[in-house]
Structure 1
Amino acid sequence: MDPSWRRHRTRGFHTEFTIRGKSIDDKFPGSGSPGRTCLDGARPCRSACRRRIPPGSHGYLQRRFSKGAGLAVEEINILQLLSEASQRGASDLHFTAGQPPACRVEGVIQSLPYPPMTPRQCRELTFSVLTETQRAKLESELDLDFSMEVAGIGRLRGNAHFARGTVEAAFRFINRSNPSLEELGLPPVVKTFCQLPEGLILITGATGSGKSTTMAAMIEEISRTRSGVIVVLEDPIEYVYPPALSLIKQREIGRDTRSFSSGLRHALRQDPDVIAVTELRDQDSVQIALQAAETGHLVLATFHAADPVKALDRILEMFGAEMLPQIRAQMGNGLKAVVSQRLLPRADGRGRVLASEILTVSPAISSCLRLGRMEQIVGIMEIGAKDGMRTIDASLDELVEKGLITSEEALQNARDPSRVALAKPKKKGLFS
């Protein structure tokens, strides 16, 4: 093999990449430069660490095209694939063996104009952005979450995994700047949650519904308006927060702390005012989060569930019958609100818009939690506007009225379609 393609020693998590013997700085200026974040690390690289991507099938796709009287071969590396997906406005990029690289644009999967990927290409393209430590972890645990930053593209969240014995991967593009709560389209009451001195705020929704983005917006709102210490537990680190009034400690699971439950337990000894957890996954995490919420801390956490009631039901299902009275009491005391959200296609076809459902823990909701009367919660939400509550059906009504989604989309997403008043979009008047 040409010695120019030999792999250089990688130091820690900081790696640069070389394309055909040239530094990636030649292709994407600034990536990996001193003081900047390297491609797959969350910290600035101060060394000349680099790994080279060999030609051919090693970290490349080949695309043949006509040139004059014959055929030419173009070699495409992972950075070019990420750049192409980013230029299309993609939210995700997927590597799947036997399929061309594909990206998700406005919720729809689109194949990129390349031949189907071989298992070897999937593996080597994915491995080209992993450190030796990350490769070993993937081989032993079969799944790996990681984050990286590419100059000219921004930050990405990655997941490498095995499927049918082959390494495959998915990459999520992360906004360069954290959008505000207003820009996300969340109701004003969510901003008031950021000013609470203590309590648990759950952010729920399906995968890809923007939970992490909402949490990042809330963290930035808190940091911008309050002086304190915010401990953020992430897997992996996605958003980087600008300096503001608060100190923000970002800890990555597997690198800075062993697990969410361990990170939560130790966070209580780190003088926190606010603790943010990107996912409550198990009994221990839920118990520690509730304990923190009851002892003077504001806790933000995401949770996979379609709506507030399902989120509460799923949390209670984690515990056995002997623990339910205690957990119900803790939720009645410590839980302050649930923000549930989903992303729906816009009526004009230009992206997606957020529909939200808000549950605030009023005395009536607290009583339902303590007594296990979960079936009464939706009814209380429907008449709880004065407490800042909003049902998904009310949110859908508002989006239809503003012309942001179609009536058909509203009906498909309504909890009770009969309650969706299929309002026609308001037409703008001469002076509106």
Structure 2
Amino acid sequence: MDSKILNQILEIAFAKRVSDVHFEVGSPPFFRAHGQLLRSKLANLTAEDTQFIAATIMKNNKRNLPDDFTEFDASYSLANSGRFRVSVFKQRGHIGIVMRVIPPEIGSFSDLKLPKVLGEIVKAPNGLVLVTGPTGNGKSTTLASMINYINEKYAYNIITIEDPIEFLFSSSKSCVIQREVGIDTTDFGSALKASLRMDPDVIMVGELRDVETIDACIKASETGHLVFSTLHTQNAASTINRIVGNFPPDSQKIIRQRLADILVATVSLRLVESKDGEKLLPVVEVMRTTTTIQACIREGNLNDIESHIEKGTAQYQMQSMDQHLIQLCNKGLISMREAKRVSNSMDLERKLTFT
């Protein structure tokens, strides 16, 4: 393995629009396309190959590969502007690497098949907006689209704190400052505190990883800033439960009250295979924090949230995951089998027959 071969593999991945490239000792490179993992016909990788790839990635980030690392995240750029988010890790004593392809352009809501109501959500003057979902289901892409919408429409100071930086923003109407953990700042908490002294209007935090980051984001929202972040949760109710559960039991009541006051919306995503098997489509739950939902959060009645989302479709353009799945089924875009695979509901087919 050398730099030329590595970059050729990554250029192919970029050109073929695969989502991920896997490098593991004893196997050839694997590519993920349309959700399926495909084994390449290249030679099996050696320990020296993956060691070289990891060291090359670190050199690209102007860092050295630590001898005692267990895992870390980074980014990698090709000369033709192709970019990748990289996860480097140890497995069975060897180095493994997974590289996520970052699209060259930030898609609009229309390009990404996202609900138009996201354009209303980002108009909030302050508060907290959360984009949630499992790994690899479009959180970063959706968040980038929302930030870029603000960038193109409003004259704001936008600060992003990421680990690593994924999409590169060019300042348009807004001024965009992007900071990478490990290179531009030591950690999310320090960067968040510093960002409040940088005249921000909008702050984007790549992920709510710990209680300190969650608390700092809530405080930033309470002091008049619009804050965006992500969580690995399935829907609005599990998102609220996860945030509150990070705090000690004796402080959870006050956290629910604070969260009810500042939460603007949650946008929860899953990618599903289209009926023709040619592409992946987003299924999106959108919850906006109405006064009724605020009461649910304050009182801990999270099981009632989904029904309030479904009742708020006409007035607030909210939608549950099941409502969107049914829409996609009725339009012939996805199969019932695929809808049932994603849905948490036991009576999706019954709901479909009554639409």
> Would you say same fold, with TM above 0.5?
yes
Aligned ranges for residues 268-279 of structure 1 at < 5 Å?
268-279=196-207
**Could you tell me how far apart the structure 1 residues matched to 2:248 and 2:190 are?**
22
Higher helix share: 2
* CA offset digits 1:199-229 (Å, max 9, x no partner): 1000000000110111110111001111110
Q: Which residue of 2 aligns with 1:256?
A: 184
Q: Percentage identity across aligned positions?
A: 33
Residue of structure 1 in register with 2:63 after alignment: 134
* Residue equivalent to 2:106: 178
RMSD, aligned α-carbons: 1.6
The one-letter code of the counterpart of 1:257 is T
* 1:91 equivalent among 2, 6, 19: 19
1:400 and 2:329 aligned? yes
Give 3-state SS (helix, strand or coil) of 1:230's partner: strand
Residue 310 of structure 1 deviates from its aligned partner by: 1.1
Residues 378-387 or 228-237, more deviating: 378-387
Q: How many pairs are equivalent?
A: 350
Contact 1:229 1:274 in 2 (8 A): yes
Paired residue secondary structure (2:177): strand
Q: Which runs of 5+ in 1 are unaligned?
A: 1-57, 61-75, 424-432
Matched, 1:202 2:130: yes
Do structure 1's residue 359 and structure 2's residue 287 form an aligned pair? yes
Q: Distance in 1 between matches of 2:250 and 2:138?
A: 35
Counterparts in 2 of 1:111-150, with a 5 A limit?
A: 111-131=39-59, 134-137=63-66, 139-150=67-78
* Aligned-pair CA distance for 1:314: 1.0
Contact 1:365–1:377, Cα closer than 8 Å, also in 2: yes
Pick the aligned partner of 1:411 from 340, 345, 350: 340
Counterpart Cα distance in 2 of 1:228 and 1:133: 31
Matched, 1:389 2:318: yes
> Which position in structure 2 is the counterpart of 1:308?
236
- Give the CA deviation at 1:338: 0.3
- Which letter does structure 2 place at the counterpart of 1:268? L
Alignment partner of 2:268 out of 320, 326, 340: 340
The DSSP-based 3-state class of the residue aligned with 1:161 is strand
SS of 1:130 mapped into structure 2:
helix
Structure 1 counterpart of 2:214, one-letter code: V
Q: Residues of 2 paired with 1:146 and 1:389: CA distance?
A: 35
2:131 partner SS: strand
TM-score normalized by the length of structure 2: 0.94
Q: Which runs of 5 or more structure 2 residues have no equivalent in the other structure?
A: none
Measure, in 1, the Cα distance between the counterparts of 2:135 and 2:242.
Answer: 16
Q: Is the 8 A contact 1:292 1:299 kept in 2?
A: yes
Q: Structure 1 length normalisation: TM-score?
A: 0.78
Give deviations 1:66-95, integer Å, cap 9, x for gaps. xxxxxxxxxx72111112223332111000
Q: Do structure 1's residue 155 and structure 2's residue 83 form an aligned pair?
A: yes
Structure exhibiting the larger radius of gyration computed from Cα positions: 1
Q: Is 1:59–2:2 an aligned residue pair? A: yes
The residue correspondences of 1:276-295 to structure 2 (distance < 5 A) are 276-295=204-223
Q: Give 1:133 deviation, angstroms.
A: 5.6
Tell me, in whole angstroms, the C-alpha distance in 2 between the residues paired with 1:331 and 1:254: 29
Aligned to 2:246: 318
Distance 2:171 2:316 in 1: 33
Aligned to 1:296: 224
CA distance in 2, matches of 1:166, 1:415: 38
